[in-house]
Protein backbone atom coordinates (compact mmCIF):
# COMPACT_ATOMS: atom_id res chain seq x y z
CA UNK A 1 0.00 0.00 0.00
CA UNK A 2 1.27 3.50 -0.81
CA UNK A 3 0.24 6.93 0.37
CA UNK A 4 0.30 9.83 -2.09
CA UNK A 5 0.66 13.43 -1.01
CA UNK A 6 0.35 15.23 -4.32
CA UNK A 7 -1.58 18.16 -2.89
CA UNK A 8 1.20 19.02 -0.40
CA UNK A 9 3.84 18.46 -3.06
CA UNK A 10 2.03 20.83 -5.41
CA UNK A 11 1.70 23.42 -2.65
CA UNK A 12 5.41 23.25 -1.77
CA UNK A 13 6.54 23.59 -5.37
CA UNK A 14 4.14 26.48 -5.87
CA UNK A 15 5.85 28.25 -2.96
CA UNK A 16 9.23 27.52 -4.56
CA UNK A 17 8.06 29.63 -7.49
CA UNK A 18 8.06 32.66 -5.19
CA UNK A 19 11.58 31.97 -3.89
CA UNK A 20 13.77 34.73 -5.32
CA UNK A 21 17.01 33.57 -3.67
CA UNK A 22 17.88 30.38 -5.49
CA UNK A 23 16.66 31.18 -8.98
CA UNK A 24 19.05 30.96 -11.93
CA UNK A 25 16.70 31.82 -14.81
CA UNK A 26 14.89 35.05 -15.63
CA UNK A 27 12.07 34.90 -18.17
CA UNK A 28 10.93 38.12 -19.85
CA UNK A 29 7.54 37.97 -21.57
CA UNK A 30 5.24 40.28 -23.53
CA UNK A 31 6.19 43.51 -25.31
CA UNK A 32 6.99 47.12 -24.53
CA UNK A 33 4.96 48.59 -21.65
CA UNK A 34 3.41 45.20 -20.82
CA UNK A 35 6.79 43.51 -20.47
CA UNK A 36 7.39 41.63 -17.20
CA UNK A 37 10.17 39.42 -15.78
CA UNK A 38 9.67 36.15 -13.88
CA UNK A 39 12.28 34.19 -11.96
CA UNK A 40 12.53 30.41 -12.26
CA UNK A 41 14.80 27.44 -11.63
CA UNK A 42 16.51 25.73 -14.54
CA UNK A 43 16.25 22.28 -12.97
CA UNK A 44 12.46 22.60 -12.72
CA UNK A 45 12.08 24.03 -16.22
CA UNK A 46 14.27 21.35 -17.81
CA UNK A 47 12.49 18.43 -16.21
CA UNK A 48 9.02 19.83 -16.83
CA UNK A 49 9.51 20.89 -20.45
CA UNK A 50 11.63 19.36 -23.20
CA UNK A 51 11.48 22.76 -24.89
CA UNK A 52 13.22 24.53 -21.97
CA UNK A 53 15.62 21.59 -21.62
CA UNK A 54 16.86 22.06 -25.19
CA UNK A 55 16.96 25.85 -24.98
CA UNK A 56 18.88 25.94 -21.70
CA UNK A 57 21.29 23.24 -22.84
CA UNK A 58 22.27 25.29 -25.85
CA UNK A 59 22.38 28.62 -24.02
CA UNK A 60 26.16 29.05 -24.01
CA UNK A 61 25.99 32.19 -26.14
CA UNK A 62 23.36 34.70 -27.12
CA UNK A 63 20.88 32.83 -29.25
CA UNK A 64 17.72 33.72 -31.08
CA UNK A 65 15.15 31.64 -32.93
CA UNK A 66 12.85 34.61 -33.60
CA UNK A 67 10.46 33.71 -30.78
CA UNK A 68 13.07 32.95 -28.08
CA UNK A 69 16.17 34.90 -27.07
CA UNK A 70 18.51 33.50 -24.36
CA UNK A 71 21.18 35.69 -22.75
CA UNK A 72 23.49 34.11 -20.14
CA UNK A 73 25.47 36.47 -17.85
CA UNK A 74 28.61 36.13 -15.75
CA UNK A 75 26.65 34.90 -12.72
CA UNK A 76 25.33 32.06 -14.88
CA UNK A 77 21.79 33.46 -14.68
CA UNK A 78 20.21 32.97 -18.02
CA UNK A 79 17.57 35.37 -19.35
CA UNK A 80 14.95 33.92 -21.67
CA UNK A 81 12.97 36.45 -23.69
CA UNK A 82 9.54 35.37 -25.01
CA UNK A 83 7.86 38.48 -26.47
CA UNK A 84 5.07 36.45 -28.10
CA UNK A 85 3.59 35.25 -24.77
CA UNK A 86 1.45 37.60 -22.70
CA UNK A 87 1.97 38.17 -18.97
CA UNK A 88 -1.45 36.71 -18.12
CA UNK A 89 -0.80 33.48 -20.02
CA UNK A 90 2.75 32.99 -18.73
CA UNK A 91 1.56 33.35 -15.13
CA UNK A 92 -0.83 30.46 -15.78
CA UNK A 93 1.93 28.41 -17.39
CA UNK A 94 4.35 28.97 -14.49
CA UNK A 95 1.73 27.84 -11.98
CA UNK A 96 1.25 24.72 -14.09
CA UNK A 97 5.02 24.09 -14.25
CA UNK A 98 5.49 24.34 -10.50
CA UNK A 99 2.18 23.22 -9.08
CA UNK A 100 0.52 21.18 -11.81
CA UNK A 101 -2.64 23.29 -11.48
CA UNK A 102 -4.41 25.30 -14.19
CA UNK A 103 -7.46 27.28 -13.16
CA UNK A 104 -9.48 28.58 -16.13
CA UNK A 105 -12.78 29.05 -14.34
CA UNK A 106 -12.98 32.82 -14.91
CA UNK A 107 -10.81 32.95 -18.02
CA UNK A 108 -12.29 34.09 -21.33
CA UNK A 109 -12.27 31.60 -24.19
CA UNK A 110 -9.82 33.54 -26.38
CA UNK A 111 -7.24 33.46 -23.58
CA UNK A 112 -7.76 29.71 -23.15
CA UNK A 113 -7.18 29.26 -26.88
CA UNK A 114 -3.97 31.34 -26.75
CA UNK A 115 -2.88 29.37 -23.68
CA UNK A 116 -3.26 26.17 -25.70
CA UNK A 117 -1.14 27.59 -28.52
CA UNK A 118 1.63 28.72 -26.15
CA UNK A 119 1.54 25.44 -24.20
CA UNK A 120 2.05 23.59 -27.46
CA UNK A 121 4.97 25.86 -28.39
CA UNK A 122 6.63 25.21 -25.03
CA UNK A 123 6.02 21.47 -25.53
CA UNK A 124 3.65 21.01 -22.60
CA UNK A 125 1.75 18.36 -24.55
CA UNK A 126 -0.34 17.25 -21.59
CA UNK A 127 -1.66 20.78 -21.05
CA UNK A 128 -2.10 21.52 -24.75
CA UNK A 129 -4.12 18.35 -25.40
CA UNK A 130 -6.27 18.94 -22.31
CA UNK A 131 -7.12 22.49 -23.41
CA UNK A 132 -7.82 21.35 -26.97
CA UNK A 133 -10.32 18.76 -25.70
CA UNK A 134 -11.92 21.33 -23.40
CA UNK A 135 -12.45 23.78 -26.27
CA UNK A 136 -14.00 21.13 -28.53
CA UNK A 137 -16.27 19.71 -25.83
CA UNK A 138 -17.27 22.91 -24.02
CA UNK A 139 -16.67 25.82 -26.39
CA UNK A 140 -17.78 24.46 -29.78
CA UNK A 141 -19.99 27.49 -30.42
CA UNK A 142 -17.06 29.87 -29.87
CA UNK A 143 -14.87 27.76 -32.15
CA UNK A 144 -17.45 27.97 -34.92
CA UNK A 145 -17.87 31.73 -34.46
CA UNK A 146 -14.08 32.30 -34.69
CA UNK A 147 -13.62 29.83 -37.53
CA UNK A 148 -11.29 31.91 -39.70
CA UNK A 149 -8.99 33.05 -36.87
CA UNK A 150 -8.43 29.57 -35.47
CA UNK A 151 -8.43 27.45 -38.60
CA UNK A 152 -5.69 29.50 -40.25
CA UNK A 153 -3.50 29.32 -37.14
CA UNK A 154 -3.68 25.54 -36.58
CA UNK A 155 -3.79 24.22 -40.12
CA UNK A 156 -0.02 23.83 -40.55
CA UNK A 157 2.03 21.27 -38.65
CA UNK A 158 1.01 17.98 -37.07
CA UNK A 159 -0.48 19.35 -33.85
CA UNK A 160 -4.10 19.94 -32.86
CA UNK A 161 -5.47 16.91 -34.69
CA UNK A 162 -8.71 17.13 -32.72
CA UNK A 163 -9.33 20.73 -33.77
CA UNK A 164 -8.40 19.97 -37.38
CA UNK A 165 -10.94 17.17 -37.49
CA UNK A 166 -13.52 19.45 -35.86
CA UNK A 167 -13.00 22.11 -38.53
CA UNK A 168 -12.57 19.77 -41.49
CA UNK A 169 -15.92 18.19 -40.68
CA UNK A 170 -17.49 21.66 -40.68
CA UNK A 171 -15.77 22.60 -43.95
CA UNK A 172 -16.93 19.40 -45.67
CA UNK A 173 -20.49 20.13 -44.60
CA UNK A 174 -20.40 23.92 -45.10
CA UNK A 175 -17.50 24.64 -47.51
CA UNK A 176 -18.71 28.19 -48.07
CA UNK A 177 -17.24 29.02 -44.65
CA UNK A 178 -13.75 28.68 -46.08
CA UNK A 179 -14.23 29.23 -49.83
CA UNK A 180 -16.33 32.38 -49.43
CA UNK A 181 -14.39 33.86 -46.51
CA UNK A 182 -12.57 37.13 -47.02
CA UNK A 183 -9.19 35.57 -46.27
CA UNK A 184 -9.62 32.45 -48.43
CA UNK A 185 -6.72 33.41 -50.68
CA UNK A 186 -4.35 33.51 -47.69
CA UNK A 187 -5.12 29.87 -46.86
CA UNK A 188 -2.04 27.65 -46.63
CA UNK A 189 -1.58 25.24 -49.53
CA UNK A 190 -1.48 22.22 -47.21
CA UNK A 191 -4.86 23.18 -45.78
CA UNK A 192 -6.37 23.68 -49.22
CA UNK A 193 -5.08 20.31 -50.40
CA UNK A 194 -6.52 18.55 -47.35
CA UNK A 195 -9.93 20.06 -48.14
CA UNK A 196 -9.79 19.09 -51.82
CA UNK A 197 -9.00 15.48 -50.92
CA UNK A 198 -12.32 15.04 -49.14
CA UNK A 199 -14.88 12.98 -51.04
CA UNK A 200 -17.66 14.39 -48.86
CA UNK A 201 -17.01 18.05 -49.69
CA UNK A 202 -20.49 19.51 -50.13
CA UNK A 203 -19.72 21.83 -53.03
CA UNK A 204 -20.36 21.84 -56.77
CA UNK A 205 -17.18 20.83 -58.57
CA UNK A 206 -17.17 23.82 -60.92
CA UNK A 207 -17.33 26.13 -57.91
CA UNK A 208 -14.33 24.34 -56.45
CA UNK A 209 -12.53 24.95 -59.74
CA UNK A 210 -13.44 28.64 -59.67
CA UNK A 211 -12.09 29.09 -56.14
CA UNK A 212 -8.90 27.14 -56.88
CA UNK A 213 -8.21 29.45 -59.82
CA UNK A 214 -8.96 32.45 -57.61
CA UNK A 215 -6.53 31.16 -54.95
CA UNK A 216 -3.79 30.46 -57.50
CA UNK A 217 -4.07 33.89 -59.10
CA UNK A 218 -3.89 35.53 -55.67
CA UNK A 219 -0.53 33.81 -55.07
CA UNK A 220 0.76 35.46 -58.27
CA UNK A 221 -0.17 39.13 -57.90
CA UNK A 222 1.77 40.15 -61.04
CA UNK A 223 -0.54 38.22 -63.37
CA UNK A 224 -2.51 40.51 -65.73
CA UNK A 225 -6.13 41.18 -64.77
CA UNK A 226 -7.26 40.50 -68.33
CA UNK A 227 -6.95 36.80 -69.11
CA UNK A 228 -6.71 37.55 -72.84
CA UNK A 229 -3.37 39.25 -72.20
CA UNK A 230 -1.81 36.26 -70.43
CA UNK A 231 1.40 34.88 -71.92
CA UNK A 232 2.56 31.26 -71.85
CA UNK A 233 4.76 32.21 -68.92
CA UNK A 234 1.73 33.49 -67.00
CA UNK A 235 -0.11 30.20 -67.47
CA UNK A 236 3.02 28.29 -66.51
CA UNK A 237 3.32 30.27 -63.26
CA UNK A 238 -0.28 29.47 -62.35
CA UNK A 239 0.22 25.80 -63.24
CA UNK A 240 3.24 25.54 -60.94
CA UNK A 241 1.35 27.25 -58.12
CA UNK A 242 -1.58 24.82 -58.44
CA UNK A 243 0.41 21.64 -59.08
CA UNK A 244 -0.77 20.06 -55.80
CA UNK A 245 -4.41 21.12 -56.30
CA UNK A 246 -5.15 20.40 -59.95
CA UNK A 247 -4.98 16.58 -59.65
CA UNK A 248 -7.70 16.70 -56.97
CA UNK A 249 -10.40 18.33 -59.14
CA UNK A 250 -13.16 15.94 -60.32
CA UNK A 251 -13.11 17.17 -63.93
CA UNK A 252 -15.26 14.37 -65.29
CA UNK A 253 -18.13 15.38 -63.01
CA UNK A 254 -18.36 18.94 -64.33
CA UNK A 255 -21.07 19.74 -66.88
CA UNK A 256 -20.08 20.21 -70.52
CA UNK A 257 -21.30 23.80 -70.45
CA UNK A 258 -19.08 24.66 -67.48
CA UNK A 259 -16.12 22.85 -69.05
CA UNK A 260 -16.31 25.09 -72.11
CA UNK A 261 -17.19 28.29 -70.25
CA UNK A 262 -14.93 28.07 -67.21
CA UNK A 263 -12.28 25.36 -67.60
CA UNK A 264 -11.28 25.84 -71.24
CA UNK A 265 -9.95 29.40 -70.70
CA UNK A 266 -7.31 27.81 -68.44
CA UNK A 267 -6.66 24.81 -70.71
CA UNK A 268 -2.92 25.54 -70.74
CA UNK A 269 -2.49 24.83 -67.02
CA UNK A 270 -3.73 21.25 -67.53
CA UNK A 271 -1.76 18.30 -68.89
CA UNK A 272 -2.46 17.77 -72.58
CA UNK A 273 -3.71 14.21 -72.11
CA UNK A 274 -6.06 15.28 -69.34
CA UNK A 275 -7.56 18.05 -71.45
CA UNK A 276 -8.02 15.72 -74.44
CA UNK A 277 -9.82 13.22 -72.19
CA UNK A 278 -12.05 15.94 -70.75
CA UNK A 279 -13.03 17.02 -74.27
CA UNK A 280 -13.61 13.40 -75.29
CA UNK A 281 -15.94 12.86 -72.33
CA UNK A 282 -17.99 15.96 -73.17
CA UNK A 283 -18.52 14.60 -76.68
CA UNK A 284 -18.80 10.86 -75.93
CA UNK A 285 -19.59 10.32 -72.24
CA UNK A 286 -19.31 6.52 -72.45
CA UNK A 287 -15.91 6.31 -74.13
CA UNK A 288 -12.95 5.21 -71.93
CA UNK A 289 -10.19 7.70 -71.18
CA UNK A 290 -6.54 7.36 -70.18
CA UNK A 291 -6.56 9.93 -67.39
CA UNK A 292 -7.42 9.04 -63.82
CA UNK A 293 -11.13 9.54 -63.19
CA UNK A 294 -11.73 10.49 -59.58
CA UNK A 295 -15.11 9.50 -58.09
CA UNK A 296 -17.84 12.10 -57.74
CA UNK A 297 -18.01 13.74 -54.36
CA UNK A 298 -20.56 12.24 -52.01
CA UNK A 299 -23.25 14.87 -51.61
CA UNK A 300 -25.57 14.12 -48.72
CA UNK A 301 -29.24 14.92 -49.06
CA UNK A 302 -30.63 14.79 -45.52
CA UNK A 303 -34.37 14.59 -45.12
CA UNK A 304 -35.90 17.78 -43.80
CA UNK A 305 -37.84 17.59 -40.54
CA UNK A 306 -41.51 17.05 -41.08
CA UNK A 307 -43.48 20.23 -41.72
CA UNK A 308 -46.94 18.66 -41.75
CA UNK A 309 -49.27 21.61 -41.31
CA UNK A 310 -52.16 19.49 -40.18
CA UNK A 311 -50.40 18.31 -36.99
CA UNK A 312 -50.81 21.10 -34.42
CA UNK A 313 -50.10 18.91 -31.42
CA UNK A 314 -46.35 18.63 -31.96
CA UNK A 315 -44.29 20.45 -29.34
CA UNK A 316 -41.07 20.75 -31.34
CA UNK A 317 -39.73 24.34 -31.34
CA UNK A 318 -38.88 23.95 -35.01
CA UNK A 319 -42.53 23.66 -36.08
CA UNK A 320 -43.31 26.74 -38.16
CA UNK A 321 -46.36 27.63 -36.06
CA UNK A 322 -45.64 31.29 -36.57
CA UNK A 323 -45.52 30.78 -40.29
CA UNK A 324 -48.87 29.03 -40.30
CA UNK A 325 -50.62 31.49 -38.04
CA UNK A 326 -49.16 34.75 -39.32
CA UNK A 327 -51.11 34.92 -42.59
CA UNK A 328 -54.31 34.40 -40.66
CA UNK A 329 -53.76 37.62 -38.73
CA UNK A 330 -54.68 39.51 -41.88
CA UNK A 331 -57.67 37.31 -42.64
CA UNK A 332 -60.96 39.22 -42.68
CA UNK A 333 -62.53 36.51 -40.53
CA UNK A 334 -60.61 37.25 -37.33
CA UNK A 335 -61.21 41.01 -37.09
CA UNK A 336 -64.92 40.59 -37.83
CA UNK A 337 -65.30 37.99 -35.13
CA UNK A 338 -63.30 40.03 -32.63
CA UNK A 339 -65.05 43.31 -33.33
CA UNK A 340 -68.52 41.88 -33.46
CA UNK A 341 -68.27 39.84 -30.25
CA UNK A 342 -69.13 42.69 -27.78
CA UNK A 343 -72.20 43.61 -29.87
CA UNK A 344 -73.83 40.16 -29.66
CA UNK A 345 -77.02 41.00 -27.76
CA UNK A 346 -79.42 38.81 -29.70
CA UNK A 347 -80.03 35.38 -28.12
CA UNK A 348 -79.83 33.91 -31.59
CA UNK A 349 -76.44 35.42 -32.15
CA UNK A 350 -75.27 34.32 -28.74
CA UNK A 351 -76.32 30.77 -29.41
CA UNK A 352 -74.49 30.86 -32.70
CA UNK A 353 -71.33 32.06 -30.98
CA UNK A 354 -71.52 29.44 -28.26
CA UNK A 355 -72.09 26.63 -30.68
CA UNK A 356 -69.33 27.61 -33.08
CA UNK A 357 -67.35 24.38 -33.42
CA UNK A 358 -64.27 26.13 -34.80
CA UNK A 359 -63.42 27.58 -31.37
CA UNK A 360 -62.69 24.13 -30.00
CA UNK A 361 -61.05 22.79 -33.14
CA UNK A 362 -57.41 21.78 -32.59
CA UNK A 363 -56.45 23.84 -35.62
CA UNK A 364 -57.52 27.19 -34.12
CA UNK A 365 -55.62 27.77 -30.81
CA UNK A 366 -52.92 29.89 -32.46
CA UNK A 367 -55.63 32.19 -33.91
CA UNK A 368 -57.47 32.47 -30.61
CA UNK A 369 -54.28 33.26 -28.67
CA UNK A 370 -53.09 35.87 -31.14
CA UNK A 371 -56.43 37.73 -31.38
CA UNK A 372 -55.67 40.22 -28.52
CA UNK A 373 -52.60 41.36 -30.43
CA UNK A 374 -54.56 42.43 -33.51
CA UNK A 375 -55.47 46.01 -32.52
CA UNK A 376 -51.82 47.00 -32.03
CA UNK A 377 -50.96 45.62 -35.50
CA UNK A 378 -53.50 47.94 -37.14
CA UNK A 379 -51.38 51.02 -36.41
CA UNK A 380 -48.11 49.36 -37.34
CA UNK A 381 -46.30 50.98 -40.31
CA UNK A 382 -46.28 48.83 -43.44
CA UNK A 383 -42.47 48.94 -43.30
CA UNK A 384 -39.71 50.04 -40.92
CA UNK A 385 -37.22 50.34 -43.80
CA UNK A 386 -38.88 51.73 -46.94
CA UNK A 387 -41.52 54.38 -47.70
CA UNK A 388 -44.24 54.81 -50.30
CA UNK A 389 -41.82 56.48 -52.74
CA UNK A 390 -39.70 53.36 -52.64
CA UNK A 391 -42.81 51.23 -53.22
CA UNK A 392 -43.68 53.29 -56.31
CA UNK A 393 -40.17 52.85 -57.70
CA UNK A 394 -40.08 49.11 -57.03
CA UNK A 395 -43.52 48.69 -58.61
CA UNK A 396 -42.28 50.44 -61.77
CA UNK A 397 -39.33 48.04 -61.94
CA UNK A 398 -41.63 45.04 -61.57
CA UNK A 399 -43.73 46.28 -64.49
CA UNK A 400 -40.61 47.22 -66.51
CA UNK A 401 -41.78 50.79 -67.19
CA UNK A 402 -39.36 53.69 -67.60
CA UNK A 403 -41.35 56.22 -65.55
CA UNK A 404 -41.99 55.83 -61.86
CA UNK A 405 -45.58 55.39 -60.72
CA UNK A 406 -47.11 58.19 -58.70
CA UNK A 407 -47.94 57.21 -55.13
CA UNK A 408 -51.66 57.48 -55.92
CA UNK A 409 -51.35 55.05 -58.84
CA UNK A 410 -49.23 52.28 -57.32
CA UNK A 411 -50.73 49.09 -58.77
CA UNK A 412 -49.43 46.76 -56.04
CA UNK A 413 -50.03 46.10 -52.38
CA UNK A 414 -46.93 45.17 -50.38
CA UNK A 415 -48.14 42.54 -47.90
CA UNK A 416 -45.62 41.90 -45.10
CA UNK A 417 -44.62 38.24 -44.72
CA UNK A 418 -41.58 38.55 -42.49
CA UNK A 419 -39.77 41.22 -40.52
CA UNK A 420 -36.48 40.31 -38.86
CA UNK A 421 -36.99 42.54 -35.81
CA UNK A 422 -40.35 40.86 -35.24
CA UNK A 423 -39.80 37.26 -36.35
CA UNK A 424 -36.07 36.83 -35.77
CA UNK A 425 -32.91 36.82 -37.88
CA UNK A 426 -32.20 33.09 -38.07
CA UNK A 427 -31.67 32.06 -41.74
CA UNK A 428 -33.99 29.08 -41.25
CA UNK A 429 -36.80 31.48 -40.27
CA UNK A 430 -36.59 33.03 -43.73
CA UNK A 431 -36.98 29.66 -45.49
CA UNK A 432 -39.85 28.55 -43.25
CA UNK A 433 -41.89 31.76 -43.36
CA UNK A 434 -41.39 32.50 -47.07
CA UNK A 435 -42.00 28.92 -48.22
CA UNK A 436 -44.58 28.81 -51.02
CA UNK A 437 -44.80 32.60 -51.48
CA UNK A 438 -44.26 33.73 -55.10
CA UNK A 439 -43.72 37.28 -56.29
CA UNK A 440 -41.83 38.68 -53.31
CA UNK A 441 -39.60 41.65 -52.59
CA UNK A 442 -36.82 41.33 -50.01
CA UNK A 443 -35.56 44.55 -48.37
CA UNK A 444 -32.50 44.78 -46.10
CA UNK A 445 -30.95 47.72 -44.19
CA UNK A 446 -27.15 47.51 -44.14
CA UNK A 447 -25.57 48.07 -40.71
CA UNK A 448 -23.52 51.24 -40.29
CA UNK A 449 -24.58 52.86 -43.59
CA UNK A 450 -27.63 54.44 -45.24
CA UNK A 451 -27.82 51.58 -47.73
CA UNK A 452 -31.11 49.82 -48.42
CA UNK A 453 -30.63 46.83 -50.71
CA UNK A 454 -32.74 43.92 -51.83
CA UNK A 455 -34.03 41.64 -54.54
CA UNK A 456 -37.23 40.65 -56.34
CA UNK A 457 -38.08 36.98 -56.83
CA UNK A 458 -41.09 36.19 -59.06
CA UNK A 459 -40.79 32.48 -58.21
CA UNK A 460 -42.06 30.69 -55.13
CA UNK A 461 -39.51 30.21 -52.35
CA UNK A 462 -39.02 26.51 -51.63
CA UNK A 463 -38.12 25.26 -48.16
CA UNK A 464 -38.11 21.63 -49.29
CA UNK A 465 -35.40 21.98 -51.95
CA UNK A 466 -32.63 19.43 -51.52
CA UNK A 467 -29.11 19.39 -52.93
CA UNK A 468 -30.13 19.62 -56.57
CA UNK A 469 -27.61 20.34 -59.28
CA UNK A 470 -24.93 21.49 -56.88
CA UNK A 471 -24.07 20.82 -53.29
CA UNK A 472 -25.00 24.32 -52.18
CA UNK A 473 -28.53 23.93 -53.49
CA UNK A 474 -30.61 24.33 -56.64
CA UNK A 475 -30.29 27.07 -59.25
CA UNK A 476 -33.67 28.60 -60.12
CA UNK A 477 -34.34 30.02 -63.58
CA UNK A 478 -36.30 33.22 -64.27
CA UNK A 479 -36.05 36.19 -66.64
CA UNK A 480 -37.78 38.60 -64.28
CA UNK A 481 -35.78 38.73 -61.07
CA UNK A 482 -33.71 41.77 -60.17
CA UNK A 483 -31.57 43.15 -57.35
CA UNK A 484 -31.34 46.77 -56.31
CA UNK A 485 -30.25 49.49 -53.92
CA UNK A 486 -32.60 52.35 -53.01
CA UNK A 487 -31.88 56.03 -52.53
CA UNK A 488 -31.81 56.90 -48.85
CA UNK A 489 -29.94 59.52 -46.81
CA UNK A 490 -26.51 59.94 -48.38
CA UNK A 491 -27.41 57.48 -51.14
CA UNK A 492 -28.77 59.93 -53.73
CA UNK A 493 -29.73 57.51 -56.51
CA UNK A 494 -31.32 54.09 -56.70
CA UNK A 495 -29.64 51.26 -58.65
CA UNK A 496 -31.45 48.53 -60.57
CA UNK A 497 -29.69 45.37 -61.75
CA UNK A 498 -31.73 42.88 -63.77
CA UNK A 499 -30.80 39.24 -64.25
CA UNK A 500 -28.72 38.56 -67.37
CA UNK A 501 -28.20 34.80 -66.90
CA UNK A 502 -31.72 33.51 -66.21
CA UNK A 503 -30.50 29.94 -65.61
CA UNK A 504 -28.76 31.01 -62.41
CA UNK A 505 -30.94 33.86 -61.26
CA UNK A 506 -31.35 32.48 -57.72
CA UNK A 507 -29.91 29.72 -55.60
CA UNK A 508 -32.17 27.89 -53.17
CA UNK A 509 -29.61 26.62 -50.68
CA UNK A 510 -29.22 23.04 -49.55
CA UNK A 511 -31.51 22.15 -46.66
CA UNK A 512 -28.50 21.25 -44.53
CA UNK A 513 -27.06 24.77 -44.92
CA UNK A 514 -30.10 26.76 -43.82
CA UNK A 515 -28.70 27.47 -40.39
CA UNK A 516 -26.18 29.65 -42.24
CA UNK A 517 -27.55 30.57 -45.67
CA UNK A 518 -30.54 32.78 -46.43
CA UNK A 519 -31.71 34.24 -49.76
CA UNK A 520 -29.14 34.05 -52.56
CA UNK A 521 -29.34 36.01 -55.84
CA UNK A 522 -26.92 35.17 -58.67
CA UNK A 523 -23.28 34.40 -57.97
CA UNK A 524 -23.31 36.04 -54.52
CA UNK A 525 -24.38 39.33 -56.13
CA UNK A 526 -26.84 39.66 -53.26
CA UNK A 527 -26.89 37.05 -50.54
CA UNK A 528 -27.69 36.99 -46.84
CA UNK A 529 -25.95 34.59 -44.48
CA UNK A 530 -24.58 34.19 -40.97
CA UNK A 531 -22.05 31.86 -39.39
CA UNK A 532 -23.84 32.31 -36.04
CA UNK A 533 -27.41 31.96 -37.39
CA UNK A 534 -28.22 35.64 -36.95
CA UNK A 535 -27.95 38.08 -39.88
CA UNK A 536 -27.26 40.98 -37.48
CA UNK A 537 -24.42 39.42 -35.48
CA UNK A 538 -21.64 38.82 -38.01
CA UNK A 539 -20.58 40.15 -41.38
CA UNK A 540 -21.56 37.27 -43.65
CA UNK A 541 -23.99 39.05 -45.99
CA UNK A 542 -22.48 40.17 -49.28
CA UNK A 543 -23.00 41.80 -52.67
CA UNK A 544 -19.97 40.39 -54.48
CA UNK A 545 -19.78 41.46 -58.12
CA UNK A 546 -16.65 40.09 -59.80
CA UNK A 547 -16.73 39.59 -63.61
CA UNK A 548 -13.65 37.38 -63.43
CA UNK A 549 -15.63 34.66 -61.63
CA UNK A 550 -18.92 35.10 -63.46
CA UNK A 551 -21.78 37.51 -62.89
CA UNK A 552 -25.45 36.73 -63.43
CA UNK A 553 -26.86 40.25 -62.99
CA UNK A 554 -26.25 43.35 -65.10
CA UNK A 555 -24.31 45.51 -62.63
CA UNK A 556 -23.28 45.78 -58.96
CA UNK A 557 -25.66 47.31 -56.45
CA UNK A 558 -22.96 48.35 -53.96
CA UNK A 559 -19.72 50.25 -54.47
CA UNK A 560 -17.77 47.66 -52.49
CA UNK A 561 -17.57 43.86 -52.45
CA UNK A 562 -16.99 43.76 -48.70
CA UNK A 563 -19.10 41.59 -46.42
CA UNK A 564 -21.58 43.23 -44.04
CA UNK A 565 -24.29 42.62 -41.45
CA UNK A 566 -27.80 44.05 -41.44
CA UNK A 567 -29.92 46.03 -38.99
CA UNK A 568 -33.28 44.67 -40.13
CA UNK A 569 -34.92 43.07 -43.14
CA UNK A 570 -38.42 42.56 -44.50
CA UNK A 571 -40.05 40.31 -47.08
CA UNK A 572 -43.22 41.46 -48.85
CA UNK A 573 -45.61 39.54 -51.06
CA UNK A 574 -46.56 41.67 -54.08
CA UNK A 575 -50.32 41.62 -54.61
CA UNK A 576 -51.76 43.15 -57.78
CA UNK A 577 -54.56 45.58 -56.90
CA UNK A 578 -55.49 46.42 -60.50
CA UNK A 579 -59.14 45.73 -61.32
CA UNK A 580 -59.56 43.47 -64.33
CA UNK A 581 -62.01 45.00 -66.85
CA UNK A 582 -64.01 42.36 -68.74
CA UNK A 583 -63.99 42.46 -72.51
CA UNK A 584 -66.97 44.43 -73.96
CA UNK A 585 -68.18 45.82 -77.23
CA UNK A 586 -69.39 49.40 -77.67
CA UNK A 587 -72.20 49.74 -80.14
CB of 92 closer than 8 Å to CB of 115: yes
Which regions of the chain carry the CATH code 3.30.710.10? 6-138
Q: Which CATH number among 3.30.420.110, 3.30.200.20, 3.20.20.105, 3.30.710.10 corresponds to the domain 6-138?
A: 3.30.710.10
pLDDT average, residue stretch 354-358: 43
CATH 1.25.40 residue spans of the chain: 164-283
Query: What tens digit of pLDDT does each residue of 479-515 get?
Result: 999 999 999 888 889 999 999 999 999 999 887 788 8
pLDDT tens digits for range 394-416 = 999 999 999 999 999 999 999 99
CA distances (Å), 158 to each of 32, 130, 163, 257, 525, in order? 32, 16, 11, 41, 38
pLDDT tens, residue by residue, 527-582: 999 888 899 998 889 998 888 778 999 999 999 888 899 999 999 999 987 644 33
For the cut 90, the answer to whether the pLDDT of residue 178 exceeds it is: no
The Cα–Cα gap between 565 and 541 comes to 6
Is the pLDDT at 587 greater than 60? The verdict is no
Q: What is the pLDDT of residue 313?
A: 45
How does pLDDT run across 79-123, given as a tens digit for each residue?
A: 888 999 999 999 999 999 988 889 888 899 999 999 999 999 999
Residues across the chain? 587
Alpha-carbon gap, residue 167 to 148, rounded angstroms: 10
- pLDDT per residue as tens digits for the range 287-307: 899 999 999 988 765 443 434
pLDDT of residue 323: 40
Asked if residues 254 and 205 have their Cβ atoms less than 8 Å apart, the reply is yes
Residue 278, pLDDT > 90, answer yes
Rounded to 5°, the CA angle 180-181-183 comes to: 130
What is the C-alpha separation between 455 and 496, in angstroms, rounded? Answer: 10
What confidence score (pLDDT) does residue 378 get?
43
Domain 164-283 has CATH 1.25.40: yes
Amino acid sequence: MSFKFFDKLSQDFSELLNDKKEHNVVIEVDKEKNKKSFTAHSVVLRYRSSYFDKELENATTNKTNFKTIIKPNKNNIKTIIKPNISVQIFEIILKYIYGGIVNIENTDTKTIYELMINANELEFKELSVKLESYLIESKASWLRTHFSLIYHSIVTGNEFKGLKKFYNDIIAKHPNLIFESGDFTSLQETALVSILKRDDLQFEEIKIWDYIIKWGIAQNPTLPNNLEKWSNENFKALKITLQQCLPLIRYFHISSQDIWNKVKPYERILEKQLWNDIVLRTISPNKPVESLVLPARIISNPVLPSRTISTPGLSSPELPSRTISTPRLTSPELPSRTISTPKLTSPELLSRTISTPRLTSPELPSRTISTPGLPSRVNEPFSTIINKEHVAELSSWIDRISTIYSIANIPYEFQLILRGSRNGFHPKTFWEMCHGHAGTILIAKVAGTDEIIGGYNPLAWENSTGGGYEARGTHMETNNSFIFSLKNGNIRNSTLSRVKDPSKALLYCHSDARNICGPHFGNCEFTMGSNVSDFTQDKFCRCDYNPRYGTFYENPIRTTNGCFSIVDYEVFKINNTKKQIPNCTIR
